[in-house]
């Protein structure tokens, strides 16, 4: 999966990468909140913090997220899904396949 992330980071804008990261995080967390600073997100995406700040600002202005002091609340998941690159679907499908009960039972 790491190699796939590198390709995504190289070919897609920070906005799309942030949407992907948020959606993948929400897929594994209860609720609609992610507690993470922009600095940590930038490190995970391999981009500058200023890029994450600008992208988060755009998403907040569009009404897709609410961001305050290390807490991101997704207010419009469908809107994020419209903006995310195709990498989200590919990574989600692979995670779902690897973590499915059928796969675990077969192992």
Predicted confidence (pLDDT) per residue in 3-51, tens digit = 455 556 565 689 999 999 999 899 889 999 999 999 999 998 889 999 9
Q: Looking at residue 86, which CATH number applies to its domain?
A: 1.10.10.10
Q: Residue 71 in 3-state DSSP? A: strand
Predicted TM-score (pTM) above 0.85: no
Range of the domain at 33: 2-99
Report the alpha-carbon angle 22-74-32, nearest 5: 90
How many whole angstroms separate alpha carbon 15 and alpha carbon 17? 5
Position 107 in a domain: no
Q: How many domains does the chain have?
A: 1
Position 106 in a domain: no
Position 105 in a domain: no
Position 6 in a domain: yes
Residue (of 51, 96, 60) closest to 80 by Cα position:
60
Position 104 in a domain: no
């Amino acid at each position: 999966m790491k190699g796939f992330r590198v390709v995504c980071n190289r070919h897609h804008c920070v906005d799309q990468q942030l949407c992907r990261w948020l959606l993948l995080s929400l897929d594994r967390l209860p609720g609609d909140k992610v507690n993470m600073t922009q600095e940590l997100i930038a490190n995970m995406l391999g981009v500058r913090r200023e890029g994450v700040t600008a992208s988060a600002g755009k998403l907040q202005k569009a009404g897709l997220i609410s961001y305050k002091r290390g807490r991101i609340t997704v207010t419009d998941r469908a809107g994020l899904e419209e903006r995310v690159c195709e990498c989200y679907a590919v990574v989600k499908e692979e995670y779902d396949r690897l973590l499915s009960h059928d796969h675990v039972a077969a192992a």
